Structure 1
Amino acid sequence: MYFDLDDILADSQKFTGSFEVDVHNVGCLINSKESAKISKTDKLELPFWLVTSLSHIFLSEDRSLFSVERPEYLSKLATNFFKASPLNADLSVVSHFYRIVEKWCDFIDQPELVDTVFDMLVARAGRINDLSFNASEMHSRENVEFLQTLDSFEKDLFQISSESYNDSRNWMKSVIH
Structure 2
Amino acid sequence: MDLDEYYNIDNILAEQIVKDTKRQERIPCIALHDYAAETNLLGDGQPVDRNQRFELPFWIAKPMAQFTLPGNMVENSLISIELPKTFGTRVRNALDASASNVDFRLLCPYFYLFGLKLLDLVVDKPLAIALRTAFRARLLDITDFSQTLGASAGQEFLQKLDETEKEIYKAGQESAIQFRNWTNRSIHLIKTVNITRPQ
- TM-score of the two chains, using structure 1 as the length reference: 0.82
Asked whether the 8 Å contact 2:147–2:176 carries over to 1, the reply is yes
Are 1:115 and 2:129 an aligned pair?
A: yes
Asked whether the 8 Å contact 2:143–2:169 carries over to 1, the reply is yes
Mapping for residues 1-177 of structure 1, pairs under 5 Å: 2=4, 3-13=7-17, 14-24=26-36, 25-27=38-40, 29-32=41-44, 36-40=45-49, 41=52, 43-47=54-58, 49-58=59-68, 60-62=73-75, 64-93=77-106, 94-137=108-151, 139-140=152-153, 143-174=154-185
| RMSD between superposed Cα atoms in Å | 2.4
> Alignment identity in percent?
24
Name the count of aligned residue pairs. 169
Structure 2: gaps (5+ residues): 18-25, 190-199
1:119 & 1:154 partners in 2: Cα distance? 14
Shift, 1:67, TM fit: 2.7
- For 1:116, give the aligned amino acid: A
2:167 counterpart SS class = helix
2:177 & 2:148 partners in 1: Cα distance? 11
Asked whether the 8 Å contact 1:22–1:37 carries over to 2, the reply is no
Structure 1: gaps (5+ residues): none
Greater Rg, structure 1 or structure 2?
2
Asked whether the 8 Å contact 2:109–2:163 carries over to 1, the reply is yes
Residue equivalent to 2:22: none
2:28 counterpart SS class = strand
Flag the structure with higher helix content: 1
Shift, 1:9, TM fit: 1.8
Shift, 1:62, TM fit: 4.3
